[in-house]
Amino acid sequence: MTDCKEGIDCRTAVQQLWDYLDDELTPERMSEVRVHLERCRTCLPHHDYARVFLAALSSARDSDARAPEALRRRVMDSLRAAGLNT
Amino acid sequence: MAIDTRSSTSAGGAEEAPGGGRSPRPPSPEADVGTKDIPGRLVPEMTASPNTTREGDVRFEAEALPFIDDVYRFALSLTRDAADADDIVQETFLRAYRSWHTFQPGSDARRWLFTITRNVFLRARERERRHVDLEDGDVEAASTFATHGQMVRDGADQILSRVDLAPALRRALDELDEPFKSAVLLVDLEDQSYEAASQILGVPIGTVRSRLFRGRRILQDKLITYARDAGFTTAQRGQRGTKDD
């Protein structure tokens, strides 16, 4: 798959690439994947692609979505009817 | 949307669980809610909870209610229907209020509310739920990057750098089935960790991981179709020319 000879192999790196980008690996394994990516011409494009994809996905969040005023009133009315006393 | 909470007792909606780490569960957000379901709409019973106190009410208003926009956005992403989202938000806050005494001060109220939101959503569509055989997360991860290889071969990867993908991804997310959709929404759009998502979804971290990776792969497959339709693939280039021609 690649000419990498040291550290983790490409199979391991690819299997953990999402975890790496999500910052979900141990510090040691984060370092191993990072070192592999710095050296591997096969895996680095996968990493770059995945990073762009995740950035695009994050931007798909509708940050402007706000609960409508009528819903806020409805929630408060139901909470007060259920006993909320503030 | 018919919401039935009468027989619910678990926090999870846990179904398939092919291994993986287990995390401590948050306090149960499933205290007796006192709701009744009528066809089409949810009608909460307006009875006072015996577990509330004035001090608790003040804390609830200060610590839980400010997340109403987050809960609404999550509910709307799950349902894609404003009326259904409204029902889920109302039910979520009623449940949260009634079980507020189980909430541990200092823990993550937003995460706790997401847990309740997802449970309300699942109960509402329990009969529609699809049970999916999940593969191991590592297999999912590897297959994702096989998809990338296919995109490169097709020339579809150009789309990543040349087009605003957010609208296409929103449409793709709308079409994404559960349980993958919730995993992607929580981790990729709401910035929850695997562990937090595991607590919200009531499944092991390994299950979150495999659902998340599968969801991402499905979204990427949809992007390939989008790229093809937009003329960004070599196949299209050969047949009809590209936008650059």
Backbone angles phi, psi at B70, to 5 degrees: -65, -45
In terms of residue numbers, what domain contains B124? Answer: 35-128
Compare all CA atoms of chain B with the CA of A83 and give the residue at the minimum distance.
B48
Residues B108 and B57 in one domain: yes
Q: In this structure, which long-range contacts are made by residues B123-129, counting pairs with CB atoms below 8 Å and at least 24 apart in sequence?
A: B123/B3, B123/B4, B123/B5, B123/B8, B124/B1, B124/B2, B124/B3, B124/B4, B124/B84, B124/B87, B124/B88, B125/B1, B126/B4, B129/B15, B129/B178
From B93, B128, B163, the end of a domain falls on B128
Contact B169 A56 (CB under 8 A): yes
List the domain boundaries for chain A: 10-81
From B96, B128, B160, the end of a domain falls on B128
Contact B57 A56 (CB under 8 A): no
Spell out which residues of chain A touch residue B68, defining contact as CB-CB under 8 Å: 67, 71-72, 75
Residues B84 and B145 in one domain: no
Task: Assign residue B50 the CATH number of its domain.
Answer: 1.10.1740.10
Contact A52 B161 (CB under 8 A): yes
- Cα B39 to Cα B84: distance, rounded to the nearest angstrom: 13
From B128, B150, B165, the end of a domain falls on B128
Whether the pLDDT of residue B22 is over 90: the answer is no
Mind listing the pLDDT tens digit for each residue in B130-156? 444 455 677 777 776 777 777 777 776
Token pair for B95: 């449940």
Is residue B53 situated within a structural domain? Answer: yes
Is residue B245 situated within a structural domain? Answer: no
Spell out which residues of chain A touch residue B23, defining contact as CB-CB under 8 Å: none
Contact A79 B93 (CB under 8 A): yes
Whether the model clears a pTM of 0.90, i.e. scores above it, the answer is: no
Whether the pLDDT of residue B18 is over 60: the answer is no
Residues B105 and B143 in one domain: no
DSSP at B63: H
| Residues 58-87 of chain B whose Cβ lies under 8 A from any Cβ of chain A | 58, 60-61, 65, 68-69, 71-73, 76-77, 82, 86
Greater confidence (A41 vs B165) lies with: A41
Domain count, chain B: 2
Tell me if chain B has a CB within 8 Å of the CB of A26.
Answer: no
Q: Nearest to residue B24, comparing CAs of B237, B210, B188, B202?
A: B202
Mind listing the pLDDT tens digit for each residue in B175-214? 999 899 999 999 999 999 999 999 999 999 999 999 999 9
Greater confidence (B11 vs B98) lies with: B98
Tell me if chain B has a CB within 8 Å of the CB of A55.
Answer: no
Is residue B21 situated within a structural domain? Answer: no
CATH of A10-81, one of 1.10.3470, 1.10.10, 1.25.40, 3.40.1350: 1.10.10
* Sign of the CA dihedral running B139, B11, B82, B73: negative
Token pair for A12: 């391991």
Beta bridge partners of B37: B42
- ipTM score of complex: 0.81
Residues B110 and B153 in one domain: no
What is the pLDDT of chain B when averaged over all its residues? 74
Spell out which residues of chain B touch residue A15, defining contact as CB-CB under 8 Å: 138, 141-142
Token pair for B199: 């607590």
